[in-house]
Amino acid sequence: VVPDGLGLHVDASSWELPPVFRWLQREGNVADAEMWRTFNCGIGFVLVVDPAAAAAIEGELDRLELGHWRIGAVVAAGDGERVRIG
């Protein structure tokens, strides 16, 4: 979905982690990085859209009564992993 040379910055504070994921991490002694790599952590699915279209798309999601929130942005990839969660 994301072209070469680009990556994703995900803002983990932009949604509330469902309690089941905190329980799973605690009881399974799972590291943060492994939680993000293995589980969706409550996101479900993601739309990657042009920032100029985001407000219109959010308006349509509101009209359809579909919960949504912005979780991050497409950024230059840089060195290392293309997905940064912070």
How large is the average pLDDT for residues 60-85?
Answer: 91
Task: State the pLDDT at residue 8.
Answer: 93
Please name the residue that has the structure tokens 């279209």: 53
Is 0.85 surpassed by the pTM of this model? no
Q: What is the dihedral sign for C-alpha 36, 39, 44, 46? A: positive
Antiparallel, parallel or unpaired: β 83-85 and 72-76: unpaired
Are residues 76 and 9 in contact, defined by beta-carbon separation less than 8 angstroms?
A: no
Task: State the pLDDT at residue 9.
Answer: 93
